[in-house]
Chain A
Amino acid sequence: MKDTTHTGSAVIEARNLDLTFQTGDGPVHALRDVNLTINKGDFVSFIGPSGCGKTTFLRCIAALEHPTGGTLTVNGLTPDEARMKRAYGYVFQAAGLYPWRTIAGNVKLPLEIMGFSKADQQARVDRVLDLVELSGFGGKFPWQLSGGMQQRASIARALAFDADILLMDEPFGALDEIVRDRLNEEVLKLWARTGKTIGFVTHSIPEAVYLSTKIVVMSPRPGRITDVIDSPLPKERPLDIRDSREFIEIAHRVREGLRAGHQDD
Chain B
Amino acid sequence: MTRAMPVLTVLGAIFALWYLAAIWMNATWVYDQAQRAGTTVTLAQVIPQTMAQARPLLPPPHQVAAELWKGVTAQAITSKRSLVYHGYVTFRGTMMGFALGIVLGVALAMAIVRFRVMELSVMPWAIISQTIPIVALAPMILTVSNQIGIDNREVPKAIISAYLSFFPVLVSMVKGLRSPDHMQLDLLSTYGASDGQTFRKLRLPASLPYFFASLKVAIAAALIGTIVGELPTGAIEGLGARMLIGSQFGEPLIMWAALFAAAILAGGLILIVGLIERMAQARMGVPA
Inter-subunit contact B285/A83 (CB<8 Å): no
Are B193 and A113 in contact (CB-based, < 8 A)?
Answer: yes
- Decide yes or no: A100 and B191 within 8 Å by CB, A94-B183, A109-B201 being known contacts: no
Cβ contact of B285, chosen from A99, A110, A114, cutoff 8 A: A99
Min Cβ gap B19→A in Å is 50
List the 7 closest pairs (A to B, CB-CB), nearest first: A141-B285, A100-B284, A90-B190, A110-B191, A113-B191, A113-B193, A84-B192
B246 interfacial contact with A, CB 8 Å = no
A92 and B192 in contact (CB under 8 A), knowing A100-B208, A113-B197, A113-B201?
no
B residues within 8 A CB of A83?
Answer: 189-190, 192
Is the Cβ of A114 less than 8 Å from the Cβ of B191? yes
State whether the Cβ of B205 lies closer than 8 Å to any Cβ in chain A: yes
A64 and B186 within 8 A (CB): yes
Chain A residues positioned under 8 Å from B197 (CB to CB): 113
Cβ contact within 8 Å between B201 and A100: no
B79 at the interface (CB under 8 A from A): no
- B100 at interface, CB cutoff 8 A: no
- Chain B positions within 8 Å of A78 at CB level: none
Q: Does A102 contact B (CB under 8 A)?
A: yes
Other-chain contact of B184, A96, A110, A114 (Cβ < 8 Å): A96
Residues of A within 8 A of B188 (CB): 113
Q: Are A102 and B190 in contact (CB under 8 A)?
A: no
Instruction: Spell out A's residues near B (CB within 8 Å).
Output: 62, 64, 83-84, 86, 88-90, 92-94, 96, 98-102, 109-110, 112-114, 141-143, 161
Chain B 212-250, CB within 8 Å of chain A: the 1/0 string?
000000000000000000000000000000000000000
Tell me, in angstroms, the Cα distance from A166 to B202 when the chains sit together.
23
Q: Quick check: A143 and B285 within 8 Å, CB to CB? A: yes
Give the interface residue-count category, chain B: 20 to 34
- B43: Cβ under 8 A from any A Cβ: no
Interface presence of B187 (CB below 8 A): yes
Bound CA span A83–B191, Å: 7
Closest beta carbon of chain A to B285's beta carbon, Å: 4
Q: Is B287 an interface residue (CB 8 A)?
A: yes
Which residues of A are found within 8 Å of B205, using beta-carbon distances? 98, 100
Q: Which of B190, B202, B284 sits near A64, CB closer than 8 Å?
A: B190
Docked complex: B165-193 residues within 8 A CB-CB of A: 183-184, 186-193
User: Taking the nearest CB of chain B, how far is it from the CB of A138, in angstroms?
Assistant: 13
Q: What's the Cα separation between A93 and B182 when bound, in Å?
A: 12
Interface centre among A92, A142, A143, A161 (most CB of B within 10 A): A92
Cβ contact within 8 Å between A92 and B285: no
Q: Give the residues in chain B near A90, CB-CB below 8 Å.
A: 186-187, 190
- A112 CB contacts on chain B under 8 angstroms: 201
Bound: A89/B187 CA distance, A: 9
Question: A96 to B201, Cβ gap below 8 A?
Answer: no
Q: How far is the CB of B209 from chain A (nearest CB, A)?
A: 9
* Cβ distance A197 to chain B, nearest Cβ, rounded Å: 16
A residues in contact with B202, CB < 8 Å? 98
Cα distance, A98 to B286, chains bound together (Å): 11
Q: How far is the CA of A83 from the CA of B186 in the complex (A)?
A: 12
Residue of A nearest to B280 (CB): A100
Find the residue from B184, B188, B190 having the highest chain A CB count within 10 A: B190
Q: What's the Cα separation between A51 and B190 when bound, in Å?
A: 23
Docked CA distance A93–B183 (Å) = 9
Q: Are A64 and B183 in contact (CB under 8 A)?
A: no
In the complex, what distance in Å separates the CA atom of A51 from the CA atom of B209? 36
Provide the bound-state CA to CA distance between A88 and B189, in Å: 12
Beta-carbon nearest neighbor of B285 in chain A: A141
20 cross-chain CB contacts under 8 A = A62-B190, A64-B186, A64-B189, A83-B190, A83-B192, A86-B192, A89-B190, A90-B187, A94-B183, A98-B202, A98-B205, A100-B284, A100-B285, A101-B285, A110-B191, A113-B193, A113-B197, A141-B285, A142-B285, A143-B287
Q: How far is the CA of A4 from the CA of B247 in the complex (A)?
A: 86
Nearest A residue to B287, CB-CB: A143
Question: Of the candidates A89, A92, A102, which one forms a contact with B186 in the assembled complex, judged by CB atoms under 8 Å apart?
Answer: A92
Assess the B183–A102 pair: CB atoms within 8 A. Answer: no
List residues 10-40 of chain B with CB under 8 A from any CB of chain A.
none
Known: A113-B191, A114-B192. 6 other contacts (CB 8 A): A64-B190, A83-B192, A84-B192, A88-B190, A98-B184, A141-B287
Contacts of A109 in B (CB 8 A): 191, 201
Query: In the complex, which residues of chain B have a beta carbon less than 8 angstroms from the beta carbon of A93?
Result: 183
Q: Which residues of chain A have C-beta atoms less than 8 A from B191's C-beta?
A: 86, 109-110, 113-114, 161
How far does the alpha carbon of A83 sit from the alpha carbon of B188 in the complex, in Å?
Answer: 11
Contact indicator A102/B192 (Cβ below 8 Å)? no
Cα–Cα, bound, A110→B193 (Å): 9
CB distance from A238 to the nearest CB of B (A): 33
Given the complex, which residues of A lie within 8 Å of B284, measured CB to CB? 99-100
Q: Which chain B residues lie closer than 8 Å to A110 at the CB level?
A: 191
> How far, in whole Å, are A114 and B194 apart by their CA atoms in the complex?
10
The answer to whether B285 and A102 touch across the interface, beta carbons within 8 angstroms, is yes
